[in-house]
Structure 1
């Protein structure tokens, strides 16, 4: 049986790359914004390498091999639901399901329609609206309305394929933030931060992104990845560079981020 064939997951070799740093986690401007959005201290990026050809159609097998590998189990970080502290996976997973996330949008002009549709003014200020709720989010401007409310008149400014793009997902996650998010009045901080994170994580036009569709049951004690609690803002993406054979893991667990 050739390496990487179905049923031969043990032939994948993964290595942890702790020397790889991500600028968005250390640049003062970005960390200040993540703090304001209640995401700092609850968001993490890590890098791993692998040694076989990545085949997108076998994404679930690939990720299952990743989560079972002895170099991943003691190094992959997640937040403990009970203590709120960073821990590592600690044991192999039992089941996995992932979805492909397109990485075809490479230009921030993708978001020009926000200005064209008067969701954002030419000055960059986000147009306000009457407060409403789209559980659990407070919607007080046209931007969050477009991101969350399917029955809003401008929701179709972004098509369903647009909304599946990794660049859009990043932007939306930043706009929604954490539990004590202080929203921006202008759109530029969201756009600039999404661009920086994207450039940090996506290294070539052949990059593939995968997202865990449902929480993964890790063990019989009830531990799950990325969390036992489902929330739109609890997510994990696995950005695979098939040329360099690197995986960048982006993780965030919804909650109250660092305050100072």
Structure 2
């Protein structure tokens, strides 16, 4: 018999979802070029509507779900994909709500007006310097990472909290072995495709105005005092987001691990 507690739990069913960003010719090659090969996208259907106050239970149930544990992959110490497999061990999950309100790539027009990117689309170079273990050799990465950059305030802290900005930042910074672009269009085009894959937009029937319906969480999972997901150690480029479509009852996981 099923207990009342079990009936209230969120359960998840993996879907064979097609992602625009992975289907377009050449984009997978860009991910490899940028060192983002340890990235995964997976979509699941969930069984009941999630109310805002249930977000912590939703994320906890997600990581404890047997089908999630068998379908979500992590990077092993041997540098291979393997199932998450932590269902019975996870003791704590965290879910940080990430604003997702942007509707247009014009959000990034200021890169040109600020002189970070030239009218031609080329990214302005700068002297090489290290930010942790990330090499900075242009004004774009300097603006993304360094709060003492002359251009840091081109995007406010509110702008930087937006999911669209976070996608762009992750794409631009890449992985540990990254061949960076000299021009910004490949970053912007890939950001746009990822955003379309991860975020749904609805139209208000009365006003005809568009708005983002997706709810976005940045998530982590712990066993005792030890972080175990998205990886055992934190890094600027190690992340996991869950994007929840409350209309379709779909949740998509976007996960990447910085590989040292």
Note whether the superposition's TM-score is higher than 0.5.
yes
Query: In structure 2, what is the equivalent of residue 217 of structure 1?
Result: 222
Query: In structure 1, what is the equivalent of residue 231 of structure 2?
Result: 227
Q: Segments of 4+ in structure 1 off by > 3 A?
A: 7-10
For the Cα contact (< 8 Å) 1:167–1:194, is it kept in 2?
yes
Counterpart Cα distance in 2 of 1:142 and 1:8: 53
Equivalent residue pairs, number:
246
Q: Does 2:82 match 1:87?
A: yes
Q: Does 2:140 match 1:143?
A: yes
Out of 246, 249, 254, the residue aligned to residue 250 of structure 1 is 254
Counterpart Cα distance in 1 of 2:241 and 2:101: 16
Out of 177, 181, 192, the residue aligned to residue 180 of structure 1 is 177
For the Cα contact (< 8 Å) 1:17–1:47, is it kept in 2?
yes
SS at match of 1:172: helix
* Residue 13 of structure 1: how far off its partner (Å): 3.7
Q: Measured at CA, do residues 61 and 125 of structure 1 come closer, stay the same or move farther in structure 2, by a change above 3 Å?
A: same
For the Cα contact (< 8 Å) 1:14–1:72, is it kept in 2?
no
Counterpart Cα distance in 1 of 2:6 and 2:25: 41
Higher deviation after alignment, 179-188 or 54-63: 54-63
* Residue 83 of structure 1: how far off its partner (Å): 1.6
SS at match of 1:103: coil
* Residue 101 of structure 1: how far off its partner (Å): 0.8
* Residue 236 of structure 1: how far off its partner (Å): 0.4
Residue ranges of structure 1 left out of the alignment (5+ in a row)? 1-6
1:3-152 correspondence runs (5 A): 8=5, 11-40=8-37, 42-80=38-76, 82-92=77-87, 93-152=90-149
Query: In structure 2, what is the equivalent of residue 3 of structure 1?
Result: none
Counterpart Cα distance in 2 of 1:188 and 1:19: 30
